[in-house]
Amino acid sequence: MMLDHAVRAAVVIPVFNSGATLTETLESVWAQTYPALDIVVVDDGSTDALTIRMLDALGSDARVRIIRQENAGPSAARNAGIAASSARYFMPVDSDDRISPTYIAEAVEVLEKYPHVPLVYARAELFGRYSGIWRLPDFSWAGFLIHNQIFPSALFRRTDWAAVGGYDESMRRGREDHDFVMRVLARGGEPHRLDAVRFFYRIGADGSSVNSSMSRDDLIAAHARIFRNSTQAYVDHAEDLFRFIFDQHDQIADLRFRYAALERFRVGFPRIVSAGKSARDGVKRLGRRLRR
């Protein structure tokens, strides 16, 4: 299929105190092979000097449009960036991640060719503290109703963004991307995954992810919000949801049966278990010192 390169796409990069990684992200976006590309950087109220200096310098770069706003969270930043461009297609890219040079072109080609596909993403790799293939499960409604299976850097249509009311700006503690994709997919169709690594997700120095840094109460509140925003999707896929829940129940029961003896030992002899953990941690510390 011959692409109409007059069809504009846009990358929206929310920034909050991430000057240390922003250049790497921008270089991956500047390297895109798709020519009709807008790049919108949204400063979500950054306060650190490095980020502010970088954004000031970018203000004179014709390749980038800078938007500045009071801190309002990633949803508001993405919405502001999308509203600022007249592009047909949009891809958010967080300011510490990277994308492959052909990602936008390949994703645009899919959306142009298949009007029933609402969203395009790709396979991904981790980099930073940990590296390697990011083994996200294949998309299924059964799993997606509970766990996000699609990272934020996916290409979607402006019309779908407008139809669902954009990102939910009340969700400031995480999972806003899961909520947005849920509402887009609930309009019909299923996502398309490019069968190649086109996205690179940074793992921070502490090894944490958004989910691991959220409290249990915040996770519950986020999922409750997703449910309320997409109640009909849960109704439409109720069988998928309960199939997933009962499959998880069976797996837990199997693990309890397999490791029941170890669990009894852990409960019955806590001092021995604690001593074993201390010895293990000591060996790890020694190994790190020897590798220096």
- Taking only the tens place, the pLDDT of each residue in 78-102 is 999 999 999 999 999 999 999 999 9
Residue in the block written with tokens 């609930």: 186
Cα–Cα distance for residue pair 243/236, rounded to 1 Å: 13
Please give the backbone phi and psi of residue 69, each rounded to the nearest 5 degrees, phi first: -150, 165
- Determine the Cα angle at 121 with ends 116 and 123, to 5°: 140
| Lookup: tokens for 235 | 């109704």
pLDDT of res. 124:
97
Q: Does pTM surpass 0.95?
A: no
CATH T-level assignment (fold) for domain 9-240: Spore Coat Polysaccharide Biosynthesis Protein SpsA; Chain A (3.90.550)
| Lookup: tokens for 270 | 């806590």
Where in the sequence of the chain do the CATH 3.90.550.10 domains occur?
A: 9-240
Cα–Cα distance for residue pair 49/62, rounded to 1 Å: 23
| pLDDT tens string 146-202 | 989 999 999 999 999 999 999 999 998 889 999 999 999 999 999 999 999 999 999
Cα–Cα distance for residue pair 60/65, rounded to 1 Å: 9
- Contacting residues for 139 by C-beta, under 8 A, at least 6 apart: 149, 150, 190, 191, 193
pLDDT of res. 233:
93
Mean pLDDT of the chain: 88
